[in-house]
């Protein structure tokens, strides 16, 4: 074993940072054996020193001079678990300039400034690892970057936000309203108080979708490219309608090649998923990512998508990988963006669609509804009518059609006299 320790600087001592410090301390002999050299924590960057941060963080190691920690202590590896764009971004760039490799869990930063970070990393000849930025402890980015690199990924479907999956699970299993389920999630610490919007509106999932799409399709995808729709408008009636037709509603991050191969579609929205689909069984705050590729077929990765210890597991796994690279003299995979596939606008993506219409049931209504679908080239897969007279409901699932055709279809349906209202519309995903 190499006697010389590798120096680790830790930026951030919150929920994840303190768990990283714990694992580095508790597992020190194992980590040293696995790396081939001891890992030495040389400093912990915090906003305020003098705060008790538990038994795993030595107060003598804490500093509020984050810049100095990165550049002046000879760190081989800088671990960034601060979150947010700045100061994380300039600290990481400083780390690269100082010749350190970086491990980060920062999805927002990668989804917005990934290209800049990757370029700086390559220029410095060091490593940038970020397994913990998506789906917590679930090994997903390494499989996409390395295991599936000989294959051609067609589609990735992910449940990548635990908060919304918890809320939707409660709505599905107990019939709760969105607001009751949200309150319960807040009570249990799964959703933020007072403002749960980053999760509920899908922004957290959208950042992860950008990172997944970049890796799966060897193209640069940023947060701004991702169409994003949250779950706040999902009603108990939507959930019940999904249930009645053998589906479950999940907030999905979808990244797929467009049907004509011109580009990719990357989007986050609630979707109805068949109960037979492996993702349908992913309950509560668990995450899972389902990958379809040409040779490998259908794969799924499942586990806890958040939390201090799971996220720290992914961070420390990356620390070991980066440390091994420094000892072997090599480096990990570089940014692979050669394919440069454009992200197509939502209008040009295709999906199946569920539409529930409240209508006045009189002679010819079905024919006029069917004519609207035909006019916009949207083909109907299943149709189910319930009730009679002024209380009739029609539930339609379409075959795959372009978003723009579906939008036009809905507009025309609203113009029909016999349609009192469109009670619900929802994308349908998976076979």
Q: Which residues sit at the interface with its own copies, rule CB under 8 A?
A: 19, 23, 27, 30-31, 33-34, 36, 131, 137-139, 142-143, 146-152, 218, 278, 281, 293-304, 307, 309-310, 312-321, 324-325, 328-331, 333-334, 336, 338-339
Q: How far is CA 370 from CA 363, 378, 380, 383, in A?
A: 13, 10, 8, 10
Residue 326 C-beta: closest distance to its own copies, Å = 9
DSSP sequence for 234-272: --HHHHHHHHHTTEEEEEEEEEEE-TTSS-EEEEEEEEE
Residue 30 C-beta: closest distance to its own copies, Å = 7
Judged by CB, which is closer to its own copies: 114, or 310?
310
- DSSP annotation of 331: -
Residue 371 C-beta: closest distance to its own copies, Å = 42
Instruction: Give the active site residues.
Output: 208
Residue 256 C-beta: closest distance to its own copies, Å = 17
Gyration radius of the chain over CA positions: 24
- DSSP annotation of 148: G
- Exposure pattern of 193-217 as b/e (b: 16+ CB <10 Å)? eeebebbbbbbbbbbbbbbbbbbbb
Residue 310 C-beta: closest distance to its own copies, Å = 5
Judged by CB, which is closer to its own copies: 331, or 393?
331
Residue 201 C-beta: closest distance to its own copies, Å = 27
Furthest CA-CA distance within the chain: 86
Judged by CB, which is closer to its own copies: 236, or 296?
296
Q: H-type helices in 277-402, by residue range?
A: 308-328, 365-375
Judged by CB, which is closer to its own copies: 201, or 292?
292
Per the structure block, which two tokens stand in for 254? 């979808």
DSSP sequence for 104-135: E--HHHHHHHHHHHHHHHHHHT--EE-GGGSS
Give the Cα-Cα-Cα angle 298, 304, 310 (nearest 5 degrees). 125
Judged by CB, which is closer to its own copies: 293, or 398?
293
d(CA 129, CA 319): 8
Sign of CA dihedral 348, 354, 357, 362: positive
d(CA 165, CA 167): 5
Judged by CB, which is closer to its own copies: 191, or 279?
279
Judged by CB, which is closer to its own copies: 297, or 364?
297
d(CA 7, CA 39): 6
Neighbours of 149 (CB within 10 A): 13
d(CA 330, CA 322): 9
250 has which bridge partners? 271
Residues 6+ apart with CB under 8 A from 276: 246
Residue 336 C-beta: closest distance to its own copies, Å = 6
3-state helix, strand, coil in the chain (%, to 5): 40, 25, 35
Judged by CB, which is closer to its own copies: 277, or 352?
277
Residue 399 C-beta: closest distance to its own copies, Å = 26
């Amino acid at each position: 074993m190499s006697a010389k320790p590798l120096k680790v600087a830790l930026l951030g001592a919150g929920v994840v940072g303190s768990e990283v410090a714990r694992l580095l301390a508790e597992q020190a002999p194992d980590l040293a054996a696995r790396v081939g050299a001891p890992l030495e924590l040389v400093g912990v960057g915090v906003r305020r020193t003098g705060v008790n941060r538990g038994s795993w963080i030595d107060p003598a190691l804490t500093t509020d001079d984050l810049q100095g920690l990165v550049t002046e202590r000879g760190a081989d590896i800088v671990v960034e678990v601060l979150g947010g764009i700045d100061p994380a971004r300039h600290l990481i760039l400083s780390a690269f300039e100082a010749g350190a490799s970086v491990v980060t869990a920062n999805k927002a930063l990668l989804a917005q400034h990934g290209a800049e970070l990757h370029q700086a990393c390559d220029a410095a000849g060091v490593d940038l690892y970020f397994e913990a930025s998506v789906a917590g402890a679930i090994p997903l980015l390494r499989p996409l970057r390395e295991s599936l690199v000989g294959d051609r990924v067609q589609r990735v479907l992910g449940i990548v936000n635990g908060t919304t999956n918890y809320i939707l699970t409660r709505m599905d299993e107990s019939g709760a309203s969105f607001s009751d389920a949200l309150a319960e999630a807040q009570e249990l610490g799964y959703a933020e108080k007072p403002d749960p919007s980053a999760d509920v509106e899908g922004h957290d999932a959208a950042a992860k979708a950008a990172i997944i799409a970049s890796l799966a399709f060897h193209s640069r995808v940023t947060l701004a490219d991702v169409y994003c729709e949250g779950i706040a408008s999902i009603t108990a009636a939507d959930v019940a309608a999904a249930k009645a037709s053998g589906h479950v509603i999940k907030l999905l991050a979808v990244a797929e090649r467009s049907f004509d191969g011109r580009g990719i579609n990357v989007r986050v929205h609630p979707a109805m998923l068949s109960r037979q689909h492996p993702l349908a069984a992913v309950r509560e705050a668990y995450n899972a990512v389902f990958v379809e590729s040409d040779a490998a077929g259908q794969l799924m990765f499942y586990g806890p998508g958040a939390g201090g210890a799971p996220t720290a597991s992914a961070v420390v796994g990356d620390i070991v990988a980066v440390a091994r690279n420094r000892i072997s003299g090599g480096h990990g995979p570089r940014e692979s963006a050669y394919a440069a596939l454009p992200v197509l606008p939502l209008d040009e993506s295709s999906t199946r669609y569920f539409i529930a219409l409240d209508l006045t049931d009189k002679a010819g209504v079905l024919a006029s509804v069917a004519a609207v679908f035909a006019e916009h080239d949207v083909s109907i897969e299943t149709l189910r009518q319930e009730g009679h007279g002024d209380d009739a409901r029609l539930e339609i699932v379409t075959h795959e059609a372009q978003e723009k055709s579906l939008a036009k279809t809905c507009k025309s349906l609203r113009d029909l006299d016999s349609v009192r209202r469109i009670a619900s519309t929802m994308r349908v995903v998976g076979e």
